[in-house]
Amino acid sequence: MISVLILTLNEEVNIGDCLDSVAWTDDVLVLDSGSEDRTVDIARNRGARVMHRDFDNFASQRNYGLRQGNLRHDWVLHLDADERVPPDLQDALQDKVRHGDQKAYRVPSKLMFQGRWLKHAGMYPTYQVRFGRRKALTFTQVGHGQRGALPSEQVGTLDEPLLHYAFSKGIADWVRRHNRYSSDEAQRARRTQLRSVDWTALMKGNAQARRRALKDLSYALPCRPLLRFLYVYLVRLGFLDGRPGFDYAVLLAFYEYLIGLKRRECNLEGDSRQHYDAD
């Protein structure tokens, strides 16, 4: 069997459907960060166990759930409340429990927006390490998100995707979250230099490693918002997703613009502090 660990904060819109999609397991732990809506009540009414931990970052939340959550099973699926597990993915997970030879697995996700799957603008398939053995898989925080801490040779890849409803609470919620995320990304961009880019991964790494290296390399590029829009809308054929593809490409360009603004703001503050200290 498989345990499921779900992170929540004010997810009454999402948690019911998320729990319904994993009703096939007998062990679901909801790790809540202080919801003020009906999230906790809905989760308990659906049979999930609920624990509380103040949020610091995604990696620490997931690691806490693994260590302190008294999960019943050796294999753990990590979810956010706006994600769903289709039947085909359930079958793939169960197959790896029985026959898998890796300690963890990357899971692709389909981004859903304005009632449709963004096949092109959503850059499918993108992968995250979300399924693994409880005692083997831990996470590290990178930017605003988390990465699995296992070496790549111990991580396999699943073909069946999660469904990700990133806009289930509306555009305003997405903008609020990405305003926070852009602060983390700005700090990461300041620390990333060309010499820190993993050039080997660019040429010989797996898809996930290449994507990480390209992201680090992109911090050195000018006009990032425009380049992000052109990449998503033209290079990745986002225009084939219709108006939702265009809207999403614009939102990503806006996100990049926020990162750039905050990065410059941090640089100016750093220069001001240096000038003050010199005086």
Residue-range domain boundaries for the chain:
2-164, 171-278
Assign 3-class secondary structure to the chain. CEEEEEEECCCCCCHHHHHHHCCCCCCEEEEECCCCCCHHHHHHHCCCEEEECCCCCHHHHHHHHHHHCCCCCCEEEEEECCEECCHHHHHHHHHHHHHCCCCEEEEEEEEEECCEECCCCCCCCEEEEEEEECCCCCEEEECCEEEECCCHHHEEECCCCEEECCCCCCHHHHHHHHHHHHHHHHHHHHHCCHHHCCHHHHHHCCHHHHHHHHHHHHCCCCCHHHHHHHHHHHHCCHHHHHHHHHHHHHHHHHHHHHHHHHHHHHHHHHHHHHHHHHC
To the question of pTM greater than 0.85 for the whole model, the response is no
Torsion of CA 250, 248, 201, 196, to 10 degrees: 40
Q: How many CB atoms lie within 10 A of CB 88?
A: 11
Could you tell me which CATH number the domain at 2-164 has? 3.90.550.10
Residue percentage of the chain with pLDDT more than 90: 69
The span from the CA of 264 to the CA of 266, in Å, is 5
How far apart (Å, rounded) are the C-alpha atoms in residues 230 and 225? 9
**99 has a pLDDT exceeding 80:** yes
d(CA 158, CA 92): 7
Q: What integer is the mean pLDDT of 9-36? A: 97
**Residue 148: pLDDT above 80?**
no
Q: Position of tokens 């997810």?
A: 11
Task: Determine what percent of the chain is predicted with pLDDT higher than 70.
Answer: 83
Please tell me the least confidently modeled range out of 68-72, 195-199, 228-232.
Answer: 195-199
- Contact between 99 and 105 (Cβ < 8 Å): no
Question: Rg for the chain (alpha carbons), in Å?
Answer: 20
Q: Is the peptide bond before 125 cis (omega within 30 degrees of 0)?
A: yes
Q: How far is it, in rounded angstroms, from Cα 56 to Cα 39?
A: 19
Q: Residue 27: name the closest of 45, 43, 42, 5 by CA.
A: 5
Higher pLDDT, 255 or 266: 255
**Assign residue 234 a region: left if phi > 0, alpha if psi is -120 to 50, beta otherwise?**
alpha
* Angstrom distance (rounded) from CA 76 to CA 56: 21
User: pLDDT tens-digit profile of 166-191?
Assistant: 999 999 999 999 999 898 888 877 76
What does the pLDDT average to over 63-77? 96
The angle that helices 242-278 and 171-191 make with each other, rounded to 10 degrees, is: 40
Per residue in 34-62, pLDDT (tens digit) is 999 999 999 999 999 999 999 998 999 99
Span 198-215, mean pLDDT? 58
Rounded distance, CA 59 to CA 25, Å? Answer: 23
